[in-house]
Structure 1
Amino acid sequence: MSLYLIFDVGNTRLKWAAVESTKQPSDQQKKLWDYSGSINTQSLQSPEHRAELADYISKTLPKPDAIAFSCVAGKEAIHQLQSLFPQWQDIQWKQLSGDSAFDGMRTLYQDPSKLGSDRWSAIIGARCLSKTNSLIVNAGTATTIDVLGSNGMHYGGWILPGLSLMHQSLEANTAQLPLAARDASTQGFGTSTNEAIIGGCDAAQIGAIQYALDLAKQMNVPIEKIWLDGGNAKTLMNQIQQANLLGTEKIEVSEGLVLRGVWAWLLKNI
């Protein structure tokens, strides 16, 4: 039995997981990862924090047979990540990029090398879970929305500011708008400035998803499944459910789509 160590280095969070070869990326059980964790990506810049992370992982799990990763945090973050385990120098690190090939899938992106590796990884992860026309929404620092056909074609997508970036932008670039705080009463049209900001930013995110559904239908790629992932996924899902929008029965929050996609790609490249 083999063990695989996988990293998803995002702009805000670094997530890691390890999984045994007895499992498959298409599995949907709740306990998918044998080991997993998450830290702030900026922790990689600190030698002390890198040492703590490396020590924790190396003492938590057996020596892996392969390591793979996706990184959108820049070349320095990649260098810092790959310096974590000098005792495992005989293990080859494999990096998934936006132009990495995956059997049965291709993208219409004009330059696939410019496609974010996190987006491509999440698309691969969604493909492992469903062969239907899918919308992949990764609601993190940025919110990305991608259309994947049942034929394995990635038709493209959108990138927009995530919820926190929207809130921070309003605070930073207006004279009288505060940094809004979400509360349980935030539903529908706001009757206070705080509610108006929270509700407006939610509406922008949900409205983009609805527009993507409409546009995909016009393209003869009617969406049958929406995969929602990222740090703001549960918040968006809660708002969607409370307002009974988008056909909630076809939406599923699936944590770790990027990790799942990197894992699936790794299995074809070892």
Structure 2
Amino acid sequence: MRLLVDIGNTRTKYTFEQQGVLSMIQSERNEAINEKWLTSLTESVESIVIASVSEAYIIDVFISYAQQHNIELDIIKSESKRFGVTSSYQQPTTLGIDRWLTLLATNILYPDQNVLIVDAGTATTIDLLNNKGMHLGGWILPGIDILFNSLLSNTSQVLATQEHQGNISFGKSTSDGVNNACWAATLGFIEQGIKQASKEVSLDNVLLTGGNAEKVAALLNTQHRIINELVFIGMQRF
């Protein structure tokens, strides 16, 4: 059995893979990741696969634990080319590993298709993969929480309480005005991404993933598919 670990900016998601089947995705706060936590998870684990966009000290916890318990450890990095997918970045290692893994997953799920991938998490990212496995680039926008908090932290008289339901109606209070604008900005970003992608390719699919995927999906009129485990499907290829 393998433990697949996606270390994000604030939380770590993980799942177990056995004979190609993924268990339910779970998550933990990054500050709770320690040897005791790992011990509770790894009784039958033979290897650990890690993808991380967070600070190095969390990876160090896994490295130390794996060495002490003779568990195979694989830390995935973004590359210029792998499994038939080619990165558009001149410096491929600077492409976020979560974005790279969604590209690898999409290429195996939808071969020979032009697909736009929307990952709505801490950041909202868009990536376009063509039907030849070429990454045609993408966009990065601050996620809903960052949009909301950045406005409040840079103004003195905008007082708002964050709501976590997607809504793009015009607000009739400052809180609603700020919250709904964050969702509207995110939705507009995605819709413009779909338009731009359609100028470059004949778009076959739009995939949504990430913590806010279902809330975004409820607002999006374009046909789409939600695949919450997209990053982990990419990790399965290693």
Query: Same fold by TM-score, threshold 0.5 exceeded?
Result: yes
User: TM-score by structure 1 length?
Assistant: 0.81
TM-superposed CA distance for 1:107, in Å, is 1.3
Q: Specify the code of the residue in structure 1 equivalent to 2:232.
A: L
- Alignment size in residue pairs: 237
Cα–Cα, structure 1 residues 179 and 86, in superposed 2: closer, same or farther, change >3 Å? farther
| Structure 2 equivalent of residue 52 of structure 1 | 36
What's the CA shift string for 1:83-134, capped at 9, x where partnerless? Answer: 2345532x33112111164221101111101111111011112222212211
Q: Please say if 1:42 is aligned against 2:4.
A: no
Question: Is the partner of 1:155 in helix, strand or coil?
Answer: strand
Contact 2:168–2:184, Cα closer than 8 Å, also in 1: no
* Residue 110 (1) aligns with residue 90 (2): yes
Runs of at least 5 residues in structure 2 that lack an aligned partner in the other structure = none
Identity of aligned residues (%): 30
Which residue of structure 2 aligns with residue 17 of structure 1?
15
When normalised by structure 2's length, the TM-score is 0.91
Q: 2:169 aligns with which of 175, 188, 192?
A: 188
String of CA shifts for 1:236-256, please: whole Å, max 9, x gaps: 12222xxxx2x2x3x122112
Q: Write the distance in 2 (CA, Å) between the matches of 1:185 and 1:152.
A: 33
Task: Give the drift of 1:180.
Answer: 3.2
Shift of 1:78: 1.4
SS at structure 2 position matched to 1:255: coil
Structure 2 residue matching 1:121: 3-state secondary structure: helix
In the superposition, relative to structure 1, how do residues 34 and 232 fare at CA in structure 2: closer, same or farther (>3 Å)? closer
1 or 2 for the larger relative contact order (CA 8 Å, sep ≥6)? 1
Q: 1:189 to 1:36 in 2, by over 3 A?
A: closer
Gaps of 5+ in 1: 24-31, 45-49
Once the two structures are superposed, residues 175-211 of structure 1 have per-residue CA deviations (whole angstroms, 9 ceiling, x without a partner) of 1222433276944222222221122111111111111
1:262 has 2:235 as partner:
yes
Higher alpha-carbon deviation: 75-84 or 138-147: 75-84
Alignment of 1:140-159 (within 5 A): 140-159=121-140
Structure 1 partner of 2:194: 213
Q: Please provide the CA RMSD for this pair.
A: 2.0
Tell me the secondary structure at the aligned position of residue 99 of structure 1.
Answer: coil
Amino acid corresponding to residue 27 of structure 2 in structure 1: S
